[in-house]
Structure 1
Amino acid sequence: MQAVVLAAGKGTRLRPLTDDKPKVLVEVDGTPLIEDVFDNLIDCGATEFVVVVGYKKEQIIDRYGDAYEGVPITYAHQREQLGLAHAILQAEPHVDDDFMLMLGDNVFRGNLADVVNRQREERADAAFLVEEVPYEEASRYGVLDTNEYGEVVEVVEKPDDPPSNLVMTGFYTFTDAIFHACHLVQPSDRGEFELPDAIDLLIQSGRTIDALRLDGWRVDVGYPEDRDRAAERLSESADAAAVDTGEEAVAED
């Protein structure tokens, strides 16, 4: 499956870390954000990357060239940062079939592969990971409204009054139906073409949408303090893995 990586943003909230580099090259625990994204997508079976670049794009292109760890890279250019739905449309000419989508500023450890497997098994038009966050943080994300059966009935981008605290994370799989929806999206009050609005169009048209709970953790690196929090979580995960490995070694002895 191809994988689209959205990496065009300026990262204004991450300044001064992004004064001289694109957001996805900000390092967390010594690793650029985009490399962590690449590694996660490779673990999910990515056969090609389509990287949507914009702000200081030459730094990304010069650093990674035409492949990462043997996986080919194609670059698509978003000349104006007009929202995630607009960014996805820049990748459309390069995508041949169902694809994964990952935001370039998220650090994940969890069940991403379950989303890919669900896409393959159920042939959903969209599948994505969701998680519960504190209500006061929900307005930072695309928020899901569900009915009494737990089915997603609406997705709202960054609402002032969130209908729930269940939000979309930064990992999705789509069929080409998402491109048709993105073409229909109208600019939001922020003047951007929002991905949640495109997904909501799929929902309202009766398309099959699967939302899976994140089993693990994610940090959306939007502010400098988020980078520190992501580094802490990675360190905790590494320590836990080391303990597990040690216990297995003792058991084998």
Structure 2
Amino acid sequence: MKAIVLAAGYATRLYPLTKDTPKPLLEVAGTTILDFIVAKMEKVESLDEIIIVTNNKFAGHFEAWAKDADYSKKLTVVNDGSLTNDTRLGAIGDIQYVIDSLKVDDDLMIMAGDNLFDFELTDFADYFHDVDTDCITAYEESDLNQQKRAGIVELTDDQLVQSFEEKPDQPKSPYAVPAFYLYKKETLPLFKTYLNEGNNPDAPGHFIPYLLDKKPVHAFLFEGKRYDIGTVESYERVKKIFENK
């Protein structure tokens, strides 16, 4: 298994904090967001390489981080060549860029580089191996306003995904989907097909309904908190939560 950490955004909503520092390298309670994610990935036995895909502006920052890091997994930084927010490849474009650049032919864990979370990735990987299908993650979101800002899935009793809708006006279920995915290696060619058909290259959730038309997908239901850092206010709030922990 390989892992891709999506870190090629410019995080303009967090300016000035991210004007010269990539969001995944912001610190929370004495460690970076990226270190928090990679420490969780370290525990997944089948995972042998962690790939950070970034842009030309911040590639040097991640290369310096990787040089100083002390992890057992291989760390690889991939520069997608983009220079500005307007010319970015988008998350799905970056996934395909990594697959092409590194000739990835393994099961693939994909995660956003700006999330902190309580659950263990080892449990997610175990579930993926047990059900033997592509897997997304989901959690029960009780706040209707938050549901309307998320991707929402309908699930069967055995957690098979029936439908997915991004930011619905009328959510069909309480199950929200963050950007944590596990795809089987046989699925990877579908990313290129998806892009070649002119579909949206940006948010990684756009790939899910496309995949649902072709293959079964299960949802790993996790408990505990997950924190999305999108604004200065949310960053300050998350810092306080983790400092109190």
Q: Would you say the 8 A contact 1:6–1:104 is kept in 2? A: yes
Question: Is 1:175 aligned with 2:184?
Answer: yes
User: Percent same amino acid at aligned positions?
Assistant: 27
Cα deviation code 1:80-113 (max 9, x no counterpart): 4232211211221322311211111000111432
Gaps of 5+ in 2: none
Q: Distance in 2 between matches of 1:99 and 1:66?
A: 25
Shift of 1:117: 0.6
Runs of 4+ in 1 over 3 A off after TM superposition: 145-151, 158-165, 185-188
For 1:117, what is the secondary structure of its paired residue? helix
Q: Distance in 1 between matches of 2:13 and 2:199?
A: 22
Q: Give the count of matched residue pairs.
A: 232
1:127 to 123, 132, 135: 135
- The residue correspondences of 1:109-120 to structure 2 (distance < 5 A) are 109-120=118-129
Deviates more, 1:29-38 or 1:92-101: 92-101
Give the structure-2-normalised TM-score.
0.83
Name the residue aligned to 1:69.
71
Name the residue aligned to 1:26.
26
Deviates more, 1:3-12 or 1:105-114: 105-114
Shift of 1:149: 7.7
Letter in 2 for 1:214: F
1:82 to 81, 89, 92: 89
For 1:17, what is the secondary structure of its paired residue? coil
Give the 3 Å change call, closer, same or farther, for CA 86–158 of structure 1 in structure 2.
farther
Q: Would you say the 8 A contact 1:178–1:199 is kept in 2? A: no
Gaps of 5+ in 1: 239-253
Give the structure-1-normalised TM-score.
0.81
Name the residue aligned to 2:228.
220
Aligned residues: CA RMSD: 2.4
Shift of 1:177: 4.2
Give the 3 Å change call, closer, same or farther, for CA 179–159 of structure 1 in structure 2.
farther
Shift of 1:38: 0.7
Rg larger in structure: 1
